[in-house]
Every structure is written in structure tokens, then in C-alpha cells.
Amino acid sequence: MRAIRALSAALLVLGLAAAPAAADASASASPSGDGKAPAQAGTSFRTATEIEQGRQATANGSTGDYFYWSFPADAGQRPTVHATVKLPQQHTTQTWQVDVYDGLRRRQACQYGAQTRTAAAGAASVDLTCVLRTVRAWSEPWANDPLPGTYYIRLTVVGLASSDLGLPVAAEVRADSKDIGGAAAVDGSLAKPLVPGIAVTSQKDGDDDRHAVLSDIRPDGGWSSGWWSDRWVWTGIGAILAALAGIGGYALTRGSGRPSRVPPGV
């Protein structure tokens, strides 16, 4: 009974410790709710319009233009990019594509989703989706794994007739993330997230450190770099269960302390 009570108390303490962390992780992927959604897009990586996760951005342009947006993604998140292109009433067959790049401008493959779609002649719109792999806190230098930092969305048409070039279109994009948790945890973390210009710093009056970054947007609560995950909780639970199993096994096998049989002749 003592072992059962100790196990219950330990599980309760670990559950209370894990609850705030889970709440913080889920809140990091939610929009802040202040300000207005961007109504324009950049034309290159350097001019990409910054958007928050969970908030829809819009832009007007022409077929043949490149639309660029950027958003932050932290370790343990699995980003999903949704894009919708509203086409003019009169047009021929068009093929649109959405690509996602990380902070090093490496194109990230879509785990699943319709990254490229063809709109039939006269179609009102075309929907695109790209689900990335889970962002890792650390990776080998030669690997192409998604890492914490800024991610770029590029939306453009990749196939159309010359008669459709320059027709007006309206684009909508949205970036969301699912928190994967300890299943994606690794033993390591980046010193800095992959944000353009984050390594460029300047000092003023000796005490005020200011980071000259090209991208100011970051997850709510800052960059975690994967220092915490629910894997710590399950590791602690496993250690407690192993200790209790050892204590219980010893209590069952130690006996009464006296030999069960008296040797002959004693």
C-alpha cells in the first residue's frame, strides 16, 4: 500500500509539472490577436512579408509574380502552410505551386499535401497545402532537417499560357503548427535560431545590447530551442516505476528472515 501511495503522489506531482509546459507549447502556436493581418507580399526573400502563425495574410498581384511571406517555427512544431489563389473569371489552365524554405534558404520538402495543383480553365480558385517535417532542435551540418528559425513561403504560377500572363489574382496564405512534443526531442540545440541577421550585434553605452536582425518576428514566449519536452516527464515516471518495482520485488523475496527448514541434526 505504501508503494501504491508513493506512486500516486509521484504521478500527481509530475502531471502538475507537465501541465504548464504543455499549455505554453500550445499557446506558442496561436496568434497574438493584436494588429492587422498583412495585406501584401514581398517579391524576394529579403522583402518577404512577416506573418504570425495562425493568422491569415492576403495579397493582390498578377500571374507571373512571386509572392513571399515569412513566419517563425520553433523546435517540436510541425508547420503546415495553406495557400489559396483566387483566379480571374476568364483564364486558361494554370498550375500553381507553394514552396517553403528555412532560414538558410534551403527548400524543405513537403511531408504530404498538395504542393502543386492545376486549375482548369474558368476555375474560381486553387488550394495548395504543404505539411513540413517536424522542426528539430539540432541536426548534423550535412543534413537537411528543418531547424528553428524563420521560414519562407513562396507562391507562384509554374505553368500557364502566354495569354494569361499579367492577369490579376488574389492570394491568401496561413501558417499553422502542431506541437509534436517529446516524440521529436533530440539531445542538442542550436546556439541561435536560423533568423537572418541574428548573429549581427552592436553595443551602445556598454550595457545595451541590440540585435540587428532582418526578421523581428518570433514565437510567443521566445525561442525555446528544444530545451524542454514531455520526454523529461516520461523519463521521470519510468525512473520512479523502476525504483518502486525494485522495492516491491525486494519486499516480496526477502521472506521472514528465518530459514524455512531446519537442517537435520540441529
Separation between Cα atoms, residue 171 and residue 39, nearest integer Å: 10
The set of cell numbers assigned to 52 is 504570425
The pTM of the full predicted model, rounded to 2 decimals, is 0.70
Question: What is residue 217's predicted lDDT score, i.e. its pLDDT?
Answer: 73
What does the pLDDT look like over 213-229, one tens digit per residue? Answer: 455 677 766 777 445 55
> Is pLDDT above 50 for 210?
no
Separation between Cα atoms, residue 135 and residue 20, nearest integer Å: 21
CB 107 within 8 A of CB 101: yes
Dihedral class, residue 108 (left if φ above 0, else alpha if ψ from -120 to 50, else beta): beta
Q: What domains are defined for the chain? A: 12-231 (2.60.120)
Question: What is residue 245's predicted lDDT score, i.e. its pLDDT?
Answer: 85
Q: Please state which of the ranges 8-17, 127-136, 171-180 shows the lowest mean pLDDT.
A: 8-17
Compute CA distances 74 → 29, 82, 235, whole Å. 9, 18, 23
- Other CB atoms closer than 10 Å to residue 240's CB: what's the count? 17
Place 254 in a pLDDT band, splitting at 50, 70 and 90.
confident
Bridge partners (DSSP) listed for residue 11: none
What does the pLDDT look like over 51-86, one tens digit per residue? Answer: 999 999 999 999 999 999 999 998 889 999 999 999
Q: What are phi and psi of 9, to 5 degrees?
A: -65, -40
**Looking at residues 237-252, what average pLDDT do you find?**
82
Separation between Cα atoms, residue 133 and residue 138, nearest integer Å: 14
Reported residue count of the chain is 266
